[in-house]
Structure 1
Amino acid sequence: MPEAEEHNPAETPAPSNTPVRALNRFVKSLPGLVAAWHWVRPNMTYFLTTRQPLLWLLALLIGTSVGGGAIAFRELIAAFQLIWLQDMSELVASAARRQPFWVILLAPVVGGAIVGLLLEKVMPGKRALGVADVIEARAMPARRIGFRSGVCSALIAAVSLGFGASAGREGPLVHLGATISNLFAEKMRLGERASRILLACGVGAAVSASFNVPIAGVLFAHEVILGHYAASAFVPIVISTVSGTILTRLYFGEHAAFIIPDYQIISYWEFPAFAILGVVAAMVAVGFQVSLIGADWIARNINLKLWMRPVLGGLLVGAIATSFPEILGVGYEAINEALYGHLSIALLISLTVMKTLATAITLASRFGGGVFSPALYLGAMTGGAYGLIAASVFPQLASSGGVYAILGMGAVAASVIGAPISTVLIVFELTGGYTLTIALLITVAIAYGITLALHGRSYFHWQLEMRGLFVQDGPHKYLVKNARVSEIMRPLETPQPFDPGSGDAYLRPSDTLETALRVFDAGGQERIAVVKQNDATIMIGHAVQVDALRQFNSALIRASEEEHR
């Protein structure tokens, strides 16, 4: 027999999947993994130090909470409405026509009496709050939104709208969303930057819950509240908005706020007509804002007890509603009628005037409510009337009146609230298609541009400027109002006497950085005494110009970083 060949185990190759071979491959890959970690580490460090995981979780909680709050708010409005209309739907005008004359006249008066009592006895600040207060809280962290004032303001708005006051529900809902988000931020003791992101989360969820428009809710939070599109804020806002939308859709259904008819643009030759509609919408938007400002000025100069203001305002609104019940409440029924072309041109024009007057009276009388729904209302009426006129002049070229009503809604609303991108998205989501996109863009752009040329600001920014806060001028305008002299003061070990009558400049710890910089500039001094808050004869420290400038520059850098990361 032939001898068997000897087998050398050392010559047998090791299987490719042996643990030794796998370990060798892992060891060889370590330098690459280390290099990758050095590349990932700064991003991960920023992700964790800015507490993004916590913000994502809080955004989910805020979205569901705001969704629940929106459901409760809308049902509360319906409950108050049931008392005098025997109807809880949004068909307010139809229900009002079935009521006696005196019910329509007196219902807003009763609501005004309740609102006056709440303002006198319960509401801090003696006025209902809205979108402008949310923007102020974002710009001025020291002016946080109190939970009590937020809930009371929502209650006042629900009473107002439930009893027929001519205003919108979106503004109160936005403030309620901000109130809920601020509560989470305070409980978790978050910093200013994280608190602002959560504030936007609550606002986005509130807008989406009101209109069932999640994309527009995200954009509104960025455009109107934050004033920037930082990537770090995008994910939490989306989480909050989507969660709030899901909850409200489960309760109210999938349909949007308005019933949009089938529409079609007949010809591209209509685009000049769309551009002219933008001009007309701008005039309406400016006229609406001037009416609101004028009515507010008149109300401030009338010597009347606080509780009497909403009562008298309610009587005036009720008197208008006896002839034009379409102006009652948020007015969604009338908007739908305009979209379907069921209103005559005379009624469309009349409602444009009467809704402007009724809303100006409502808000000047201290009722709660916003301006977004009235702006949509005025846009629908304006566009509907314009469409009927266009159809009578060019019957072969003009699209349906509903097309012009939709375009008018976007144009007037964007001009009033100063949010063209968000408004385009709202209308886009309401219509559910691209058909009107180009026409909507040109109409909104022209209306918004002319409004800025004539009025220079949105209604919210006007409200803030009345309080001395110029947000639209840039962060350098309001950052100097946030910092205080106490933050830059160099304290003395032992307080020293000071003569305030000597003519030497001095500051107090509560003075703003803006005041300090002006005092430095006026006197040309590099060091100024800081006296005790309630006793100008005792010097407790010094304020140095270099420290003040360093504080201002640091605040600008932080604001710039927040806007771009």
Structure 2
Amino acid sequence: ILGQFSVGNLTAVVLAAVTSSIIGRAAFGEAPAFAATSYTVESLWEFPIYAVLGVLAGLAAVLFVRVLYWTEDVFDNSRKLPGWVKPAVGAALLGLLALLYGRIPGLGYDHIPQVFGVGYETITMALTGGGTVGLLLALLFLKILATSFTLGSGGSGGVFAPSLFVGSTLGAACGLVVNQLWPNITAPVGAYALVGMAAAFAGSTFASVTAVVMIFELTSDYRLILPLMLSVVISTLLARYMLNGESIYTLKLSRRGIRIASGRDVDVMQGVLVQEAMTTRVDTVPTTMTLDRLRTEFTRTQHHGFPVIDDEGKLYGVVTVQDASRALEAGMPPDTPVARFAERNLAVAYPDEPMADALNRLSVRDIGRLPVVSRRDPNLLLGAVRRSDILRAYNIALTRRAHIQHKAARIRLRKVDHTEFLELDVTPGSPCVGARIENLAGAMPHEAVLVSVRRASGEIIIPHGDTVLESGDRIVAFADEDAARHLTGVLLGNDVEG
């Protein structure tokens, strides 16, 4: 998630890891989570095989991520299904999976299916060379389904153990195949299970270093480190390309409007509130408006949707062109009131939240506008966020970011000896109002430079000789101590430093 190395980040991670390791070893002893044997590279011909395993692990990681989030989308788009019912539906799908489990050739279980729970027993089986190719591949795909049903429906769980499960079964299946084809030049099945486990984990999380260190901790042997790094890097690069740079963790953030680049949130829309960009004058329709009249309003205004207001002036719902078309296709008469077919399950925005959140809801729902309502009274319509408002919000965000970066640069340069930055506010009575900078240059001290001019509108410009100064401008200048007072007098007509 951090996506970068720095002293501060590395220090925190090392302290957390050391503390966790000490506590874990004190509580559980020195035995690793999985019983793994030390392996080595049997032949140089194995390196191409490990490269292919890296490709397969990357594809498996991509499949895992896409199926997981596709399942989540299916449940999220089931608007008529209450939120508290969705985990129950996911559990029912798991139960159906368990019923079908025994019907799959080669699969069987004593108490619960192997793909339920964390799956450490199955991982251990793969590391010790157990199972057949068909069994291992079946477990791989079933584990992806079981995890997706659980997490996609809103159930509790993680993706760490499932990614290890997927990688170990894939690696073991690959090991069985190459052991049959080239028994004299390939390592035991467990070696491929270990490498596959690390490669699939790295492909889904992009945590390449973590994957390599994790396997070393399991085996306490460096001899497998070269093929391990080869597979991990190939898997990570392939998955990063196919997932557009989003890991299984950062994809969750990006779908919520939080963009991560090099460990930092770079979505400028996070800094603009909905109330700053929303439209307050919104065309609405009453619940009593007929279907025929609504179609006329769509044609007259060229809008694609309207908020629907009840008799008390409260927000009732939203009606779109698609809603009207579906009502006609359903055979509703022209005098049908809007209340009969308006959408009641609304996606809304709040005035005090970032525009990035509103933009994310627009994208997920694929709609053109969001009603803005009060948090205290969700039925009180305050305005709307339209696609055109997004452009205005983006301009505001870019202006603010430029101002912040400009101010940060000034702060860094304040430490230069015997010099300082001045911020001079031009008032209506200042002598520089309406004057070109080239006409003021003769009176300004040589040891002073005008850096920027920020207009009252927020626009930041680089001053040139033909730049005309206006009332409301904020001038940033760089000057030495002696020239600062002189410059202030020339521009503002007084001897007070800015």
For the structure 1 residues 293 and 546, does the alpha-carbon distance in structure 2 shift closer, same or farther, using more than 3 Å as the test? closer
State the Cα distance separating 1:553 from its structure 2 match.
5.0
Distance 2:52 2:397 in 1: 57
User: What code does the residue aligned with 1:317 have?
Assistant: L
- The sequence identity of aligned pairs, in percent, is 31
Matches within 5 A, 1:231-310: 231-302=7-78, 303-310=80-87
Alignment-derived partner of residue 460 in structure 1:
249
Is 1:338 equivalent to 2:126 in the alignment? yes
Task: Check whether the contact 2:46–2:185 (CA below 8 A) recurs between aligned residues.
Answer: yes
Is 1:379 equivalent to 2:167 in the alignment? yes
Computing the radius of gyration over CA atoms, which structure comes out larger, 1 or 2? 2
The correspondence for 2:218, drawn from 417, 423, 430, is 430
TM-score normalised to structure 2 length? 0.53
Task: Check whether the contact 2:3–2:262 (CA below 8 A) recurs between aligned residues.
Answer: no
State the Cα distance separating 1:545 from its structure 2 match.
8.5
User: What code does the residue aligned with 2:127 have?
Assistant: L
Distance 1:298 1:333 in 2: 31
Distance 2:64 2:400 in 1: 46
For the structure 1 residues 299 and 266, does the alpha-carbon distance in structure 2 shift closer, same or farther, using more than 3 Å as the test? same
Matches within 5 A, 1:484-563: 484=272, 510=352, 549-552=402-405
Q: Where does the alignment leave 5 or more consecutive residues of structure 2 unmatched?
A: 103-107, 283-349, 358-374, 376-380, 384-395, 412-498
SS for the counterpart of 1:326 is coil
State the superposition RMSD in angstroms: 3.6
Task: Check whether the contact 2:42–2:185 (CA below 8 A) recurs between aligned residues.
Answer: yes
The correspondence for 2:258, drawn from 455, 465, 469, is 469
Aligned length: 297
Is 1:315 equivalent to 2:92 in the alignment? yes
User: What code does the residue aligned with 1:332 have?
Assistant: Y
Q: What per-residue deviation string (whole Å, max 9, x for no partner) do you get for residues 401-439 of structure 1?
A: 100000100111101012111111111212211011100
Is 1:403 equivalent to 2:180 in the alignment? no
SS for the counterpart of 1:257 is coil
Distance 2:410 2:50 in 1: 43
State the Cα distance separating 1:277 from its structure 2 match.
0.7
User: What code does the residue aligned with 2:181 have?
Assistant: V
Distance 1:462 1:444 in 2: 20
Distance 2:151 2:207 in 1: 21
State the Cα distance separating 1:356 from its structure 2 match.
1.0
Matches within 5 A, 1:52-451: 224=1, 226-302=2-78, 303-321=80-98, 323=102, 325-451=113-239
User: What code does the residue aligned with 1:288 have?
Assistant: F
| Structure with the higher fraction of residues in strand conformation | 2
SS for the counterpart of 2:114 is helix
SS for the counterpart of 1:327 is coil
Alignment-derived partner of residue 287 in structure 2:
none
Q: What per-residue deviation string (whole Å, max 9, x for no partner) do you get for residues 87-108 of structure 1?
A: xxxxxxxxxxxxxxxxxxxxxx
For the structure 1 residues 549 and 300, does the alpha-carbon distance in structure 2 shift closer, same or farther, using more than 3 Å as the test? same
Distance 1:545 1:363 in 2: 37
State the Cα distance separating 1:238 from its structure 2 match.
2.6
TM-score normalised to structure 1 length? 0.47
For the structure 1 residues 292 and 554, does the alpha-carbon distance in structure 2 shift closer, same or farther, using more than 3 Å as the test? farther
For the structure 1 residues 317 and 282, does the alpha-carbon distance in structure 2 shift closer, same or farther, using more than 3 Å as the test? same
- Greater relative contact order (Cα 8 A, min sep 6): structure 1 or 2? 1
For the structure 1 residues 330 and 474, does the alpha-carbon distance in structure 2 shift closer, same or farther, using more than 3 Å as the test? closer
Distance 2:397 2:48 in 1: 60
Distance 1:398 1:284 in 2: 22
Distance 1:327 1:557 in 2: 58
Distance 1:299 1:466 in 2: 15
For the structure 1 residues 557 and 451, does the alpha-carbon distance in structure 2 shift closer, same or farther, using more than 3 Å as the test? farther
Q: Where does the alignment leave 5 or more consecutive residues of structure 1 unmatched?
A: 1-223, 489-498, 502-507, 516-532, 537-542, 559-565
